[in-house]
Each structure stands twice: as C-alpha cells, then as structure tokens.
C-alpha cells in the first residue's frame, strides 16, 4: 500500500465515501426496523445482535472496499480485516438494545484512522432523523449546517449528560460525580450518540461515560473535536484503540472535569 497523504481533498473524498456507506446501511436498517419478526441473537459478551447489524456492516464494508480496496476495516460484527496505515472503524448499529425495542436512539458509526490518528467520522442516526459528520480541519456538520460547542466555562452554567456508568460507579469517580452534580445547572442522561451530537451543537456542555469501546465513539470524537470541543477518556488520555471511557466538553469545562475525575477507577 502506498503512503497516504491526508490532504483536504483526499479527506473530503474519503468522507463522501463514508457518508455514502452510512446511507446505504440506513436503508438496510430501516427495512429490519419495521420487521415485526426480527430475530435477536446473543453474542459471547452477552450483548444482542440482529440480522440488521450483520447485513448493514456488510454493506458498509462493500462500499468502503470498493473505494479503498487496500484499507483495513475493524467492524463490530466482522472483526478486523486487512492491514495498512488506513483503518476504518465501523459500528453498524451502535445501540442495538434500543433498536430491538423499537426505540430510535441508535446510530451507525463510521470513522477513519490513519497512522493511529482519527481523521474523519460519520454518525448517522437515520431513524432518529439526524446525521453528523466531520473531517480533520473541515469543521463539524449537522445535516449540512456547521455546528460549534457551547461557551460554558463554569459549572453553574453547565448542562452535563451521563451515559454508561457501571465502572465509574465502582471507583472513586462515583464520589467525584456526586460532588459535581449539585453544582450544575442541570444533569441529564441522553446516552448513546445523542449527547455527543448535543455537545457538538452547543446544547450540552460536558459528557461523562464509562463502559464503552473505540467503535462507539471514534466518529463522535472527530465530530466533537472539529466542533471546538475536547474529547479524551476519563483519565484525560487521548482517544485510541483501547479507549473504554469518555470525557468530553467545552475546553474550559473539560479541563475542570479532567482534574475532578483523575484516577476515576482507583
């Protein structure tokens, strides 16, 4: 595989492919979403999977590999295939538990990592009715409109959303969250893709979440970053393939929260 130069034009082309892949997956997902006889299976990690997950990932892989046959793909259902400096990260239905209960809080997540750096992402929540995307240096977009994180810098003006918190509740981070909540303007629990979308467009100021993996948040990390936010794990480390938690928000509030949650699992 030849060395990839991530120029703006190359990234725009790759982003267009990712958006097309998400759109094709949305057609598959929509068909199954309305199927009253949808069969749900249980994976080895005790999470649900459906034909919609499997078939939509197959469609995404097909679109990506037609455009970039020498790229690697790491998918939620199909695992990792291929090698090289370009790695697509794909979760065809992030929120399968919502999907099987006919609750539209699920999305298709597609991101591209080049030489270990996340450079673009698409978060397509077609049944919910919105899609966000971003590429490095190109800003963040919600259905064609550019978005920015808010300006909140103090807890008293902050709206904070939490997602999965099981591991957080088992360590020192739980006390830190309890200390924080009374100081906030409001606390919410939007979860899944949605609170990251809200953060990127300035409707939420900080998101706190444990119990996730890179496929859940790779695309969202690019989107939030391009919207002017800061996105790390709960210890303040950069997002990478082994990431299992998220702390993201406006720059000022992220800095405050990073100190608050340091050593959150200890």
| Domain residue extents for the chain | 8-138, 155-261
CATH number for the domain whose boundaries are 155-261: 3.40.190.80
DSSP per-residue letters across the chain: -PPP---HHHHHHHHHHHHHHHHHHHHHHHHHHT-TT--EEE-TTS-EEEHHHHHHHHHHHHHHHHH-TT-EEEETTTEEE--SSEEEEEEEEETHHHHHTT----EEEEEEEETTEEEEEEEEETTTTEEEEEETTS-EEETTEEE------SGGG-EEEE---HHHHTSTHHHHHHHHGGGSSEEE---TTHHHHHHHTTS-SEEEEES--HHHHHHHHHHHHHTT-EEE-TTSPPP-TT--EEEEE-HHHHHHHHHHHTTTT-
| CATH class for the domain made up of 8-138 | alpha beta
Per-residue pLDDT of the chain (266 residues; tens, 9 = 90+): 468 888 999 999 999 999 999 999 999 999 999 876 677 888 877 788 889 999 999 999 999 999 999 999 999 999 999 999 999 999 999 998 898 888 999 999 999 999 999 999 999 999 999 999 999 999 999 999 999 999 999 999 999 999 999 999 998 889 989 999 999 999 999 989 999 999 999 999 999 999 999 999 999 999 999 999 999 999 999 999 999 999 999 999 999 999 888 877 65
């Amino acid at each position: 595989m030849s060395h990839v130069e991530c120029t703006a034009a190359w990234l725009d082309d790759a982003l267009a492919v990712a958006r097309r892949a998400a759109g094709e997956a949305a057609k598959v997902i929509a068909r199954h979403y309305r199927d009253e006889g949808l069969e749900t299976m249980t994976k080895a990690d005790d999470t649900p999977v459906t034909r919609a997950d499997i078939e939509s990932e197959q469609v995404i892989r097909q679109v990506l590999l037609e455009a970039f046959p020498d790229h690697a793909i790491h998918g939620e259902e199909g695992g990792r295939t291929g090698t090289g400096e370009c790695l697509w990260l794909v979760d065809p239905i992030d929120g399968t538990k919502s999907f099987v209960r006919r609750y539209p809080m699920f999305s298709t997540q597609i991101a591209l990592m080049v030489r270990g750096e996340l450079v673009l992402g698409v978060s397509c929540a077609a049944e919910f009715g919105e899609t966000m995307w971003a590429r490095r240096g190109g800003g963040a977009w919600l259905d064609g409109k550019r978005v920015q994180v808010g300006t909140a810098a103090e807890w008293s003006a902050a709206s904070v959303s939490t997602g999965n918190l099981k591991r957080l509740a088992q360590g020192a981070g739980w006390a830190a969250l309890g200390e924080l909540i009374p100081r906030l303007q409001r606390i919410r629990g939007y979860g899944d893709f949605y609170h990251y979308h809200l953060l990127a467009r300035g409707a939420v100021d900080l998101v706190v979440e444990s119990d996730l993996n890179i496929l859940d948040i790779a695309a969202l990390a690019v989107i939030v970053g391009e919207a002017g936010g800061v996105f790390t794990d709960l210890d303040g480390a950069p997002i990478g393939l082994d990431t299992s938690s998220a702390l993201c928000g406006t720059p000022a509030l992220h800095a405050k929260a990073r100190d608050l949650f340091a050593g959150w699992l200890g």
